[in-house]
Amino acid sequence: PWTSFIVIPFTLLGIVLLPFTSGLLHIAAFTFDTILSSITWVANWDGNLWYQHPSLWTVITAMIGIFILFLPRGFPARWLGFIWLLPIFYNPQHNNASNFKQGEMWFNLLDVGQGLAAVIRTKNHVLIYDTGPNKYIGRTVIIPFLKARKLQHIDKLVISHTDKDHDGGIEAILKRDDLSVGEILTSAADEYKVKYPKYKIEPCQAGRNHWIWDGVTFQILHPPVDFKSKNTNDISCVLKVNSGDKSILLPGDISKNIELLLITNYKSELQADILVAPHHGSANSSSISFINIVKPKIVLFSTGYNNAYN
């Protein structure tokens, strides 16, 4: 109503009467700025982010509760409808790490549209692989995911390469006061050291980046030390994670040329149960020889619906 009855009329009158007065336009601008500031404040309010969509069973119980409450007056025990509504207000802690076993990992590939963001958790550690295409995704997808699971520290933030669909959401993570990052691992370490001097930043290097968290093994397979390429996709950090007899391979945006290099260097070590499709399933990646050597049981494609790349 404020926009309809004040901002728009004053704007139109100000345009019509422009030769005589610009005061009306100033009033319109001031009122619109006030509204915009309020909307921006609400949009950035943390409180609107942390409540996840309810599960199916809570929706069903809520519908039963509403049905009972709308029964005709005089129907016995209508107040029970309020009890059926209670589960809708329950906000559970998802996949509590205290329930994780030694050697167990949880892998989540987040829905970030045309981009990539994945979270890998062990009993005591958290790793994020890429941050999606922009700050908005970082703020509205990644942060709520972490908050819903009460995660306040990221041990390693792996940025495969500097294409925006992979590192676009990093600032939404780094700017939060209630979220700390232990280390950033990236193929663009020199660039990141300049952009984010407050953080510990290490280069992704095959043979040098290998660690074990709670019995789960993490290994960077690419790029090799001193590897150079004009194609930023081909310097993507390729991460292999092993948990017991299960494994995941995250290859970033590598092309068929790098797939061939990996086959030459690692052969059957590339085998993984879950493969995140290289370069979102691009025709320039996922060669037959690569798929045959990885032998994935599940292939995940992190792509946006109706994206520009078909």
Q: Which of 4-8, 95-99, 181-185, 300-304 has the lowest mean pLDDT?
A: 95-99
Cis bond before residue 224 (omega within 30° of 0): no
Residues 134 and 253 in one domain: yes
Q: Are residues 84 and 220 in the same domain?
A: no
Residue type present at position 239: L
pLDDT reading at 165 higher than 90: yes
**Domain-embedded: residue 50:** no
Question: Is the pLDDT score of 4 beyond 50?
Answer: yes
CA gap 83, 1 in Å, rounded? 37
Same domain flag for 123 and 192? yes
Mean pLDDT of 150-165: 95
Q: Of 92, 108, 88, 90, nearest to 148 (Cα)?
A: 92
Asked whether residue 158 carries a pLDDT value surpassing 80, the answer given is yes
Average pLDDT over residues 100-128: 95
For residue 157, the SS3 value is strand
Task: Taking each helix axis as running N to C, give the angle between helix 8-16 and helix 23-43, from 0 to 180 degrees, rounded to the nearest 10.
Answer: 150
Q: Percent of the chain at pLDDT above 90? A: 65
**One domain for residues 67 and 147:** no
Given a cut of 70, whether residue 122 has pLDDT beyond it is yes
Q: How confident is the model at residue 44 (pLDDT cuts 50, 70, 90)?
A: low
Spatial distance between the Cα atoms of 243 and 105, rounded to a whole number of angstroms: 7
Return the pLDDT at 22: 63
Q: Hey, how many other C-beta atoms are within 10 angstroms of the C-beta on 4?
A: 8
**Per-residue pLDDT for 94 more than 60?**
no
Residue that wins the pLDDT comparison between 241 and 56: 241
- 135 and 256 inside one domain: yes
Look at residue 95 and tell me if it is in a domain: no
Q: How many domains does the chain have?
A: 3
83 vs 50 pLDDT, higher one: 83
Residue 17 lies in a domain: yes
Based on the domain organization, do 138 and 168 belong to the same domain?
yes
Closest CA to 6 of 25, 31, 37: 31
Please tell me the predicted confidence (pLDDT) of residue 1: 66
Residue 62 and residue 154 in one domain:
no
CATH number where 216 lies:
3.60.15.10
**Domain membership flag for residue 125:** yes
On the question of pLDDT at 7 being above 90, the answer is no
135 and 234 both lie in a single domain: yes
* Residues 271 and 172 both lie in one domain: yes
Q: Is residue 262 part of a domain?
A: yes
pLDDT band at 127 (very low <50, low <70, confident <90, very high): very high
**251 and 166 together in one domain:** yes
Rounded to an integer, what distance in angstroms lies between the CA atom of residue 263 and that of residue 210?
A: 19
User: Are 106 and 9 in a shared domain?
Assistant: no
94 in any annotated domain: no
Residue 199: inside a domain: yes
Residue 71 sits in the same domain as residue 172: no
The pTM of this model reads: 0.76
Q: How far apart, in whole angstroms, are the C-alpha atoms of residue 180 and residue 200?
A: 12
Within-domain flag for 265: yes
> Is the pLDDT reported for residue 309 higher than 80?
no
Summarised one tens digit per residue, pLDDT across range 244-269 is 899 999 999 999 999 999 999 999 89
Look over the chain and give the mean of its residue pLDDT values, rounded to a whole number.
89
Which tens digit of pLDDT belongs to each residue from 177-228?
A: 999 999 999 999 999 999 999 999 999 999 899 999 999 999 999 999 989 9
Quote the pLDDT of residue 167: 95
List the structure tokens of 249. 């391979």
Separation of alpha carbons 85 and 62, rounded Å? 5
pLDDT tops 50 at residue 49: no
- Write out the residue range of the structural domain in which residue 13 sits: 2-43
